[in-house]
């Protein structure tokens, strides 16, 4: 499982992942559509803001915020937890272990390869956003765009690693889908998916700053909609990457301990 063999295998893995995404494109469209919650929340918040803006957020800012949420969620999605659960149950994880590539890399490549298609599917939301509110909410500073790129990669990594770690718990618990449900519920509340984080009462905001969820979604959206200047964006991206490192450590630990318990049924 050397670095060299991994790098050599990567293009093939990406190609397989892309073929997989294209093969089930109808399914992908349904998945994309089922992430319409930001659009429903947008309708709600527009009704709320019709009398007066909520803090900094008036109607145009809210349109920009929730359409950006939709796009960022599409681009940083991961479904590895469900996949590992299936593969632990039916024993196909054993096949992955035979390959000279770390399963985390293989799963990651699969998610990464679906991004172009998901990008195309979320394009309409971006176009509607630009048509409705123009480019005013977007930051003008190129440094902020660089930080945004880092925050996107960080958000994707946290989602992938959390999925992988919780998926690995299936090796101890038989099924960890329920735990993923808990994680997802917390994500819905604290990530900024339903409510922009800045609208939370101060106490809840402080709690949210210490949890990983905001860094999975809210942070890139906030940077994209000019909620931060250079300094605060840099601090937050720094915190985000600290969380990425923590997740990496925890994931490696769970994986190593869990693998010892892997016994494929009938395998």
Partner 1 sequence: MIRYLRLLGVQLRASALLGMQYRIDFALDGLIEVFWAITSIIPLFVVYSARATVAGWSFGESLLVVGWFTLLAAVLEGAISPSLTNVVEHIRKGTLDFVLIKPADAQFLVCTARIQPWRAINVVTAVIIFGYAFRLLGHSPTFGGIAMSLALLWASTAVLFSLGILTVSAAFYVVRIDNLMHLFIAIFDAARWPSAVFRGVIRFIFTFVIPLALMTTYPAQALLGTLPVSTFVLSLLGACVFVGLSRLVWLRALGKYTSAS
Residues in the chain: 267
Q: Where are the alpha helices (DSSP H) in the chain?
A: 3-23, 25-34, 37-49, 59-75, 80-90, 93-98, 103-133, 142-168, 170-173, 177-190, 202-210, 213-216, 218-224, 230-259
**Closest C-alpha among 40, 38, 222, 236 to residue 137:** 222
x/- site string to partner 1, residues 10 to 29, per CB under 8 A? ----------------xx--
Q: Which stretch binds partner 1 (CB under 8 A): 6-14, 96-104, 174-182, 224-232?
A: 174-182
Q: Look at residues 219, 220, 215, 214 and name the one whose alpha carbon lies nearest to residue 245.
A: 215
User: Binding to partner 1 by residue 211, rule CB under 8 A?
Assistant: no
From residue 180 to residue 199, the character string flagging contacts with partner 1 as x (rule: CB under 8 A) and all else as - is -xx--xx-xx----xx---x
Instruction: Name the helix (H) or strand (E) containing 181.
Output: helix 177-190
Distance, CA of 56 to CA of 199 (rounded, Å):
9
> Are the C-beta atoms of 79 and 163 separated by less than 8 Å?
yes
Q: Look up residue 74 and give its DSSP letter.
A: H
Q: How far is the CB of 219 from partner 1 (least distance, A)?
A: 19
Shorter beta-carbon distance to partner 1: residue 33 or 246: 33
Give 25 or 256: the residue with its C-beta nearer to partner 1.
Answer: 25
Give the binding-site size for partner 1 (rule: CB under 8 A): 31
Classify 88 as helix, strand or coil. Answer: helix
Nearest residue (CB) to partner 1, 16 versus 188: 188
- Cβ closer to partner 1: 70 or 148? 70
Q: Is 56 in the site for partner 1 (CB under 8 A)?
A: no
Measured from the CB atom, the residue of 130 and 198 that comes closer to partner 1 is: 198
Whether the Cβ atoms of residue 93 and residue 263 lie closer than 8 Å to each other? no
Closest CA to 255 of 179, 180, 165: 165
Residue number, 30 or 146, with CB nearest to partner 1: 30
Q: Is 224 a residue that touches partner 1 (CB under 8 A)?
A: no
What's the closest the beta carbon of residue 220 comes to partner 1, in angstroms?
A: 21
Quote the least distance from Cβ 162 to partner 1, whole Å: 17
Confirm or reject binding of residue 79 to partner 1 (CB under 8 A).
no
Residues contributing to the site for partner 1 (CB under 8 A): 26-27, 30-31, 33-37, 40-41, 43-45, 47-48, 51, 54, 175, 178, 181-182, 185-186, 188-189, 194-195, 199-201
């Amino acid at each position: 499982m050397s670095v060299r063999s991994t790098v050599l295998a990567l293009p093939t893995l990406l190609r397989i992942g892309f073929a997989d995404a294209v093969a089930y494109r109808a399914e992908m469209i349904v998945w994309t559509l089922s992430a319409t919650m930001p659009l429903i929340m947008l309708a709600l918040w527009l009704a709320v803001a019709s009398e007066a803006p909520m803090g900094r957020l008036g109607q145009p800012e809210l349109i920009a915020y929730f359409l950006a949420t939709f796009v960022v969620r599409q681009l940083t999605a991961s479904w590895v937890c469900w996949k590992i659960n299936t593969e632990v149950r039916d024993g196909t994880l054993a096949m992955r272990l035979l390959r000279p590539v770390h399963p985390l890399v293989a799963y990651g490549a699969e998610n990464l390869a679906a991004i172009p298609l998901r990008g195309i599917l979320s394009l309409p939301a971006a176009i509607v956003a630009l048509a409705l509110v123009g480019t005013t909410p977007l930051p003008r500073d190129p440094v902020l765009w660089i930080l945004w790129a880092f925050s996107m990669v960080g958000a994707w990594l946290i989602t992938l690693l959390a999925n992988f770690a919780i998926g690995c718990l299936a090796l101890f618990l038989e099924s960890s889908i329920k735990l993923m449900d808990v994680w997802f519920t917390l994500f819905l509340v604290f990530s900024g998916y339903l409510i922009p984080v800045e609208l939370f009462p101060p106490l809840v905001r402080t709690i949210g700053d210490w949890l990983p969820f905001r860094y999975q979604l809210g942070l890139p959206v906030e940077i994209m909609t000019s909620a931060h200047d250079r300094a605060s964006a840099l601090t937050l991206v720094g915190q985000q990457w600290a969380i990425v490192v923590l997740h990496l450590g925890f994931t490696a630990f769970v994986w190593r301990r869990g693998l010892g318990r892997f016994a494929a049924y009938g395998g």
